[in-house]
Amino acid sequence: MKGDRVVKTDVEELSPTRVRLTVEVPFEELKPSLDQAYREVGRQVRVPGFRPGHVPRQVLDQRVGRGVVLEHAINEAVPDLYLRAVREAQVSALGQPEFEVTKLEDGTEIAFTAEVDVRPSFDIPDIGQLHVVVDDADVGPDQVEEYLTALRERFATLRAAARPAQDGDYVSIDLSAQVDGKPVEDAQATGVSYEVGSGTILDGLDEVLVGMAAEDAATFQSELAGGEHAGRMADVSVTVRSVKVKDLPELDDDFAQSASEFNTVGELRASTRKQMEVVRRAGQAGQARDRALEALAERIDMPLPDAIVEHEIEHRRRTLDTDLEQAGLTMEDYLTGRGVVAADVEKEVADETRRTVKARFILDKLAEQEGLTVEQDEVGQYVAQLAYQQGVSPDQFARQLASSGQLSAVVADVMRTKAVALLAERATVTDESGRPVVIGAAAEQPAADEAVDDEVGHAAASEAAEGSAGQAKPGRRRGSRKSD
């Protein structure tokens, strides 16, 4: 465009989240687009005696009409004029505008309107006044023993039992089902390994298996959960082929050496407790971020742009449909599994969407208010993390983001992550026992000094991202093991 500013821009507030811009510019601002329009139309029109692209304008005006060329030029020029008007009027536009050309005086002036959603206006209260409570990071002896028991389960062995099956035993079974005396094709199986009491196959199976020994057979009735006969009662035959019991290894020094790089069970227990505390401290940080944002959002009342909310809701609906399809489930299966109706899911999606959109506006404004910036290496680290989750190389994933125009969204995500971290650092955070919890670099430094292995580090990072306290895997000590 020839000029650097639009001559006149009026802004009319249609609602707290939508405005109409009325833009007026002199006709000369249209000249570059008009020249381009003549060139493009000239290449498309065949006029005897003239080569394509070399047809004089007067001839084109006679053949196709001046109005056609003007329309082409305006369609090309208006988006750029709109962006200049938005910058000049300092409008925080969202989404795509709706254009309407309201005046076209050939050679004199053009005018158009653009209706567009805008960011809501609101103030952020003093974030230093926020107070949030997070879970305690303490790890008690019972929790350590619970984890070590789960670890022993991973190293358990099965041995044959010369007795009838009991709860907790593992059996190998053959199953077959009939409906109205006819075999159900998708309900026939042999050599199925099953833990008695787990209740993961058919209702009534556990009750029948208890007391059955190897080569015993029995029949019971159960409702089929899937397939062509889903919901029908079937006659199910079960034959036990073997009964095995689980033997857990003793929690002693030998186990510590086989399950980790520690020499004694005392070292394993101490390291497990330390690493669980590291993970729980990371979980506290995640909780502090989530709960500080929730507390701030509760203090802010703002209107939300309907179009933005509806677009996000529709996106979430499509995502849910895609996820269900990939899982081989229908919406009816999903509703039944959750014990809800469609209206419940619609409300849940709408409420969560509104919370998410509101949080984005808050974090964007907080980042702007605090002058936060995003460095290139921060974007690179974030892209590398996303690429790892997708199972592709960072370079390939970055190219995908660039080609799809999503890099700006990635930068926005990084900025919001920094904003919510700042929010948690400024807020007053205590644990359930009333003790102060320090969030931020000062809190993370001790954990960084811990000599923990990569596996535990990944677990801690994962727990922190999810905002929940969890358990780490046993650590591996740097150094030699005791010789056997």
pLDDT tens-digit map of 20-48? 999 888 888 877 887 777 777 666 666 66
CATH 1.10.3120.10 fits 257-466, yes or no: yes
Q: Which of 247, 246, 265 is nearest to 255 (CA)?
A: 265
Q: Which of 173, 216, 198, 234 is nearest to 207 (CA)?
A: 198
CATH classification number, 157-247, choose in 4.10.1240.10, 3.10.50.40, 1.25.40.20, 3.30.2130.10: 3.10.50.40
Q: How far apart are CA 33 and CA 466, in angstroms?
A: 51
Q: How many CB atoms lie within 10 A of CB 107?
A: 8
3-state secondary structure string across 343-390: HHHHHHHHHHHHHHHHHHHHHHHHHHHHCCCCCHHHHHHHHHHHHHHH
Q: pTM of this prediction?
A: 0.69
Beta bridge partners of 21: 11, 114
Q: Looking at residue 51, what is its pLDDT?
A: 60
Contact 284, 134 (CB under 8 A): yes
Q: For residue 95, is it left (φ>0), alpha (ψ between -120 and 50) or beta?
A: left
In the numeric block, the tokens 């005018």 are attached to 111
Amino acid at site 191: G
Read off the pLDDT of each residue in 343-362 and give the average, rounded to a whole number: 95
pLDDT band at 462 (very low <50, low <70, confident <90, very high): very low
pLDDT band at 265 (very low <50, low <70, confident <90, very high): very high
Read off the pLDDT of each residue in 263-291 and give the average, rounded to a whole number: 94
- DSSP result, 267-314: HHHHHHHHHHHHHHHHHHHHHHHHHHHHHHHHT------HHHHHHHHH
pLDDT band at 317 (very low <50, low <70, confident <90, very high): very high
| Residue 429 scores a pLDDT above 50 | yes
Read off the pLDDT of each residue in 422-444 and give the average, rounded to a whole number: 85
Read off the pLDDT of each residue in 375-401 and give the average, rounded to a whole number: 90
Residue 6 vs residues 140, 240, 335, 435, 462: alpha-carbon distances, Å: 68, 84, 54, 58, 50
Q: Which of 432, 420, 414 is nearest to 469 (CA)?
A: 432
Q: Looking at residue 70, what is its pLDDT?
A: 78
pLDDT band at 191 (very low <50, low <70, confident <90, very high): very high
Q: Which of 472, 44, 98, 107 is nearest to 273 (CA)?
A: 472
Q: Rounded to the nearest 10 degrees, what angle do helices 265-298 and 441-449 cross at? A: 160
**pLDDT: which is higher, 471 or 155:** 155
Spell out the residues 6+ positions from residue 26 whose beta carbon is closer than 8 angstroms to its own: 7, 108, 109
Q: What is the pLDDT of residues 70-86, one digit of tens each?
A: 787 888 888 888 998 89
| Beta-sheet pairing, 217-223 with 109-118 | unpaired
Read off the pLDDT of each residue in 429-441 and give the average, rounded to a whole number: 89
| Residue 459 scores a pLDDT above 60 | no
| Beta-sheet pairing, 18-26 with 8-15 | antiparallel
pLDDT band at 470 (very low <50, low <70, confident <90, very high): very low
pLDDT band at 55 (very low <50, low <70, confident <90, very high): low
Q: Which of 129, 134, 133 is nearest to 427 (CA)?
A: 129
| Beta-sheet pairing, 182-195 with 170-179 | antiparallel
Q: How far apart are CA 315 and CA 222, in angstroms?
A: 40
| Residue 149 scores a pLDDT above 90 | yes
Q: For residue 328, is it left (φ>0), alpha (ψ between -120 and 50) or beta?
A: left
Q: How far apart are CA 416 and CA 418, in angstroms?
A: 5
98, containing H or E segment: strand 93-105
Domain range annotation of the chain: 8-118, 157-247, 257-466
pLDDT band at 375 (very low <50, low <70, confident <90, very high): very high
Contact 46, 135 (CB under 8 A): no
The CATH number of 8-118 is 3.30.70.1050
Q: Which of 172, 5, 190 is nearest to 81 (CA)?
A: 5
Q: What is the pLDDT of residues 88-111, one digit of tens each?
A: 888 889 888 999 888 877 777 788
Q: What is the pLDDT of residues 154-182, one digit of tens each?
A: 999 999 999 999 999 999 999 999 998 89
Q: Looking at residue 483, what is its pLDDT?
A: 36
Q: How far apart are CA 332 and CA 226, in angstroms?
A: 12
Question: What is the overall mean pLDDT for the chain?
Answer: 84
Q: How far apart are CA 18 and CA 35, in angstroms?
A: 34
Read off the pLDDT of each residue in 358-378 and give the average, rounded to a whole number: 94
Q: Looking at residue 45, what is its pLDDT?
A: 67
